[in-house]
Structure 1
Amino acid sequence: MKYLVVVSNGVDRRAGEYLADCLQCPVIDAKLPFDYSVIERPIGVGGTPIAGWSSYIKTVIPGSDRYSTLQNVLNFISSGNY
């Protein structure tokens, strides 16, 4: 699988779902155990880059609150650099 969106918490889940819709991939909660090594490009949404993300997650779209996280996700989608 190429993409997987990993959300840091329930508050940021909707922003993660927007990204997953764009990438046509699944969304999972970061608290669930998962073998990220089978995903080509897992993307973290929400929280901060040092929030305990798996070392496999190289791209994190953070935000200070759910509104800034959503805006950062929309900016990421608009940039097309995924």
Structure 2
Amino acid sequence: MTRFPNADFLEYGCLNTQSVGCNTASDKVSTINQMMGNFLRIFTIRVMWLEILLFLNQIHIFAIDITFFMYALHKMSVEISPAS
């Protein structure tokens, strides 16, 4: 059977419909289910990592905003306070 790069899961099922034991519709459906199941698993893991990274990015941006706000507040209070 032909090997596909990064798609070893295709070899589980009946990719070649001419081979023995792959003539029934249920075999073809099970192959499609295996392919979709693997795709959804990989897709879910990648989306989960993306959500984690976006969440960390939001925390990082929020920390930068707070830092600039505190700095601006400090500069404002220094300018308002009477010179000593």
Shorter-chain TM-score range: under 0.3
1 or 2 for the larger relative contact order (CA 8 Å, sep ≥6)?
Answer: 1
Which structure has greater strand proportion?
A: 1
